[in-house]
Structure 1
């Protein structure tokens, strides 16, 4: 996601995570996206999430 739209999503209860988003492409290659990555804290606050790569996306972009 472009950095300039991240504040909009932050106002909609999304939280920006540090680091990249690891994506598995349709051809099986792994790509790391370095733009803004946002998550929604549903079951636990971000502070309770495990350390490491927070976003590992394998599917359609929403």
Structure 2
């Protein structure tokens, strides 16, 4: 993989914040926001690999904070 980016939103995608991504190769860790219990969190992921393949996916209300 040549690039990996993640953004999070706590307002159903109206605004996005860059999430901290650490790691390399096939092992990445993303720091998710501290949201209030029950608050929905949306995710956007963009990844690209050598050779031009990639993904750009948005999931509105991916999970509710615990």
Same fold (TM over 0.5): no
More helix by share: 1
| More strand by percentage | 2
Bigger Cα Rg? 2
When normalised by structure 1's length, the TM-score is 0.29
